[in-house]
Amino acid sequence: MDQATSNGNASPNGSATSNGSVTAAAAEGQPTGPIFVPPADIIEKGNTVIMLLDVPGADPASLDVTLEKRVLTISAKVKSFAPEGYAPVHIEFQDGTYERRFIFSDEMDGEHIDATLKDGVLRLTVPKAPDTAAKKIAVNAA
């Protein structure tokens, strides 16, 4: 499927860690801490492409989904937490940022993307552009 191509590299200046995250270099305007690359499934149904990304701990207010020049960027800040009244004993969750980019082909209708978040899964529904369907061209004799 060539509709969306993934670019899993979250930070060109980062370094990989053992848990699949990328640690960002501290710079002005850059996030600090690990950058997690959320796993994604992309499926196609008729004239629609559905993208599913695992972003546990993210809430709708922290999610930023932007499309610029055919590049879809998904990012979200997440914070670890301990319920009130409890003291942490062992912590593996950590503060960080989710970031993933996809390059859309001309077939995708970026103007009509629908995004929903449920149970830590971001679902993007992207229709195909109506004028990109294959068309039969008649050949006339000269």
CATH class of 4-131: mainly beta
Q: Does the global pTM surpass 0.85?
A: no
Q: Under DSSP, is residue 73 helix (H, G, I), strand (E, B) or coil?
A: strand
Backbone angles phi, psi at 117, to 5 degrees: -125, 125
> Distance between CA atoms of 6 and 104, rounded to whole angstroms?
9
pLDDT tens digits, one per residue of 13-55: 333 444 444 444 444 455 567 999 999 999 999 899 999 999 9
Tokens of 56: 């546990």
Q: What was the pLDDT predicted at 31? A: 57
- pLDDT confidence tier of residue 3, bands split at 50, 70 and 90: low
Give CA separation, 118 vs 57, 124, 127, in Å.
11, 11, 20
Q: Under DSSP, is residue 121 helix (H, G, I), strand (E, B) or coil?
A: strand
> Distance between CA atoms of 97 and 14, rounded to whole angstroms?
13
- Domain ranges in the chain are 4-131
pLDDT tens digits, one per residue of 79-108: 877 788 888 888 888 889 999 999 998 889
> Distance between CA atoms of 59 and 17, rounded to whole angstroms?
25
